[in-house]
Amino acid sequence: MTPIRIGHLYGNLLNTYGDNGNLLMLQYGLKKRGLDFTVEVNSLEESFKANQYDLIFFGGGQDFEQKVVSDHIQTKKDELEKYIESNGVLLAICGGYQLLGEYYLSAKGDRIEGTHLLNLYTLNQVNSRFVGDVEIFSDEFNETYYGYENHNGRTFIKDPVKPLGRVIKGYGNNNEDKTEGARYKNVFCSYFHGPLLVRNPHLVDRIIDKVLEQRNQSTEQGTKLKQIIDPTSV
């Protein structure tokens, strides 16, 4: 098997709260399975194609850096949409989560445009943040996840986007609807820092399983296409 290609989207700009630990956990999980991988930062200087990566990590940062990314990511939007809609696996934390949506309001109330790739939006709070330990339950996977949140944003998700989990303890997306994070196709989003995957190694396995499923499906589709073009080739 060729190495699994991991892309760290704007990794030189969005890397606060130690969330790069999620990348380390993904690498650890891949090594445990004996799987080779490559990791590269895809930022302001790099182009982006939908078939470039098998797994993308999109972290969070301060408002200034997120505004820079908000402006630039529009140049990658079309290919990123192709990646998501073709079931590419993506993990987004905090600011990356917000930027996949329609827009978010900064702490100062400025509107920062997202990519409009997920059906969600984020409002701000005045002189307040959601901070503390969180526990959620995923009905999709029948699993409990633990984390730590520290965010000003109040995110509201809409169909077809579903929550990553139901809030058992803590604030979650907005402290109103008892949701935390978001799930759409093979996209996983969360406000969990800590980092998320360090405290939830079972979620590491789920994400890697999704990557391998996609790799297998792509191989099968490629084989079928090759047979159609040249029936004698297989």
For residues 104 and 118, the answer to whether their CB atoms sit within 8 Å is no
Q: What is the DSSP string of 1-16?
A: -PPEEEEEETTTTS--
Return d(Cα 180, Cα 175) in angstroms, integer.
Answer: 9
- In the residue annotation, 193 being an active-site residue is answered as yes
The partner residues of 112 in beta bridges, in order of sequence, read 104
- Non-local (6+) Cβ contacts of 5 within 8 A are 37, 38, 40, 52, 53, 54, 55
Catalytic residue among 8, 94, 151, 189: 94
Catalytic residue among 8, 151, 189, 193: 193
For residues 170 and 134, the answer to whether their CB atoms sit within 8 Å is yes
- In the residue annotation, 189 being an active-site residue is answered as no
For residues 180 and 141, the answer to whether their CB atoms sit within 8 Å is no
Q: Is 111 annotated as a binding residue?
A: no
Binding-site annotation: residue ranges: 129
**Which residues are marked as active site?**
94, 193
Binding-site annotation: residue ranges for substrate: 129
